[in-house]
C-alpha cells in the first residue's frame, strides 16, 4: 500500500510499504480522508519534535475518516463496514494513570502517526479503543475533525470554563478555532481570539468570536482589558506553542483566572512567575484528550458543533507535500485544515 513516511525534517516520502494486519484487540481501517495536523506540520518543518529519532521512518497522520475492513481477535465493538474515526493514543491499561481512567497520562503510551505508523496510508491498524463510530449525520470530512475537537473539548474542561465566562484564546490555527467552538458549547458569554493572520481572524469572527485581537496591533493584554472593563479573561487557552505564548495567556487571564496550556513546544521559553503570585492565577496543562471524542461526535451529530468551514481544501494523497504541507507553510492566511484524499 501507499504511505507518507516521515524520514526527517523536510523529508517526507510517498512510498510503497507492506499492508498491516490487525492483532488481537486491533482494528484495520481503510482510510478515506486524513487531516494535516499542526503537529504533522511541525514535524515536517522543524522536526523531530515529538517523533523519537529512533522511530523514523514513521507514517504520519492521526486525524481521519475511514471504514473498518478487518478486526482482530476479541474485538466486539466494531464490525467490517463500520464508518469510523479515531483518537491517536495507545495506552497500557495497567499503569497508575490508566487504572484511574487518565489514559492521556499513561506511562507507557504511544501515539498514532508519531511513535506508531499513522493514517497517512491506505490502511491504519490501531487498538479498538482508539476508534469511534461516525453516525450518518456526520460526514467523513467533518469526521476528520473529531480528533482536534476532542483536544479542544479537553482544554475547555481543564480550564473549567463555565456558562457566562469570558474566554481568551491565543492562536488562530485548528486547535485555537476548535477551542472557540468548544468554549461556545460550554456556555462562554464572550470569546476573544488573539490571532496572527487576518484571514484566520475573519474565520474566527464568522465562527462566533466576540472580537479578534490581532498581534501587532498594540499590546493584546491592554486590548483585552479595554474590551472587558479592565478585568481580562476568566480562562485563557494557549494553542500556539511558541516560547512567549504561555506568558501571554497568563497575562490575558484575570486575577484568580486560569491559563490552559495546550500548545506543543519546539523549545522552552522564559516565564515571569511574578505574574502568578499576587494575582493568584492558575496555570494548568492540557494533554490531548481522554474520551472527549464521544462528546465531539454527539455535538457534531446534533449540529451544536459546526466546524465544517475549517476545512480549506481536499487534495490528492500523492500531492500531499506540495499541495498540503508546503501550502500550509506558505499560505497560512487562507488555509487552516487541508485534507488528503487517500482512497
Ligand atoms: Zn492533531
Ligand atoms: Zn498506562
From the CA of 104, which ligand is nearest?
2
Q: Which CATH superfamily is domain 153-285 in?
A: NAD(P)-binding Rossmann-like Domain (3.40.50.720)
Calpha distance 208→312 (Å, rounded): 18
User: Ligand 2 mean position to 91 CA, how many Å?
Assistant: 5
Q: Classify 82 in phi/psi space as left (phi over 0), alpha (psi -120 to 50) or beta.
A: beta
Is the preceding omega at residue 162 within 30 degrees of 0, hence cis?
Answer: no
pTM over 0.95: yes
Ligand nearest to the CA of 64: 1
> Residue 286 — φ and ψ, nearest 5°?
-140, 110
Q: Looking at the CA of 101, which ligand is closest?
A: 2
Q: Give the residue range(s) of CATH 3.90.180.10 domains in the chain.
A: 2-145+307-341
* Long-range pairs, 185-188, Cβ under 8 A, ≥24: 185/153, 185/156, 185/299, 185/304, 185/305, 186/156, 186/161, 186/162, 187/161, 187/162, 187/163, 188/161, 188/163, 188/164, 188/235
**CA-closest candidate to residue 159, choices 231, 259, 245, 247:** 259
**90 CA to centre of ligand 2 in angstroms:** 9
Rounded to the nearest whole angstrom, what is the distance from the C-alpha of residue 176 to the centroid of ligand 1?
12
CA of 106 to the centre of ligand 2 (A): 4
- Considering the domain delimited by 2-145+307-341, tell me its CATH architecture: Alpha-Beta Complex (3.90)
Positions of CATH 3.40.50.720 in the chain:
153-285
Q: What is the pLDDT of residues 133-188, one digit of tens each?
A: 999 999 999 999 999 999 999 999 999 999 999 999 999 999 999 999 999 999 99
Where are the strands (E) in 207-271, listed by range? 211-214, 233-238, 253-261
- Left if phi > 0, otherwise alpha if psi is -120 to 50, otherwise beta: which for 283? beta
Section 8-21 average pLDDT = 97
Mean pLDDT within 67-82: 98
Amino acid at each position: 500500500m501507499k504511505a507518507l513516511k516521515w524520514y526527517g525534517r523536510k523529508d517526507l516520502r510517498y512510498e510503497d510499504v507492506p499492508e498491516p494486519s490487525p492483532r488481537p484487540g486491533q482494528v484495520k481501517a481503510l482510510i478515506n480522508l486524513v487531516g494535516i495536523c499542526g503537529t504533522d506540520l511541525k514535524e515536517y518543518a522543524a522536526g523531530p519534535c515529538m517523533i523519537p529519532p529512533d522511530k523514523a521512518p514513521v507514517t504520519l497522520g492521526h486525524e481521519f475518516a475511514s471504514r473498518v475492513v478487518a478486526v482482530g481477535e476479541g474485538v466486539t465493538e466494531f464490525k467490517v463496514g463500520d464508518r469510523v474515526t479515531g483518537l491517536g493514543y495507545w495506552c497500557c491499561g495497567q499503569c497508575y494513570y490508566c487504572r484511574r481512567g487518565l489514559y492521556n497520562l499513561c506511562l507507557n503510551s504511544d501515539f498514532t502517526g508519531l511513535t506508531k505508523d499513522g493514517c497517512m496510508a491506505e490502511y491504519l491498524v490501531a487498538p479498538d479503543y482508539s476508534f469511534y463510530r461516525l453516525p450518518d449525520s456526520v460526514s467523513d470530512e467533518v469526521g476528520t475533525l473529531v480528533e482536534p475537537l476532542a483536544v479542544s473539548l479537553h482544554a475547555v474542561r481543564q480550564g473549567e470554563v463555565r456558562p457566562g465566562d469570558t474566554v481568551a484564546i491565543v492562536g488562530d490555527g485548528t486547535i485555537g478555532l476548535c477551542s472557540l467552538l468548544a468554549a461556545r458549547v460550554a456556555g462562554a458569554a464572550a470569546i476573544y481570539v488573539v490571532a496572527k493572520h487576518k484571514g484566520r481572524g475573519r474565520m474566527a469572527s464568522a465562527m462566533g468570536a466576540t472580537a479578534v485581537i490581532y498581534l501587532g496591533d498594540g499590546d493584546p493584554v491592554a486590548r483585552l482589558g479595554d474590551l472587558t472593563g479592565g478585568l481580562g479573561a476568566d480562562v485563557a487557552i494557549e494553542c500556539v506553542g511558541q516560547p512567549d505564548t504561555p506568558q501571554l495567556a497568563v497575562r490575558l487571564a484575570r486575577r484568580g483566572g486560569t491559563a490552559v496550556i495546550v500548545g506543543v513546544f519546539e523549545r522552552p521559553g522564559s516565564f515571569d512567575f511574578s505574574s502568578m503570585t499576587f494575582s493568584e492565577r492558575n496555570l494548568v496543562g492540557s494533554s490531548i484528550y481522554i474520551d472527549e471524542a464521544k462528546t465531539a461526535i454527539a455535538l457534531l451529530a446534533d449540529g451544536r458543533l459546526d466546524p465544517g468551514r475549517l476545512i480549506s481544501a481536499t487534495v490528492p494523497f500523492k500531492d500531499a507535500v506540495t499541495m498540503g504541507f508546503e501550502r500550509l507553510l506558505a499560505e497560512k492566511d487562507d488555509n487552516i485544515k487541508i485534507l488528503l484524499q487517500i482512497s
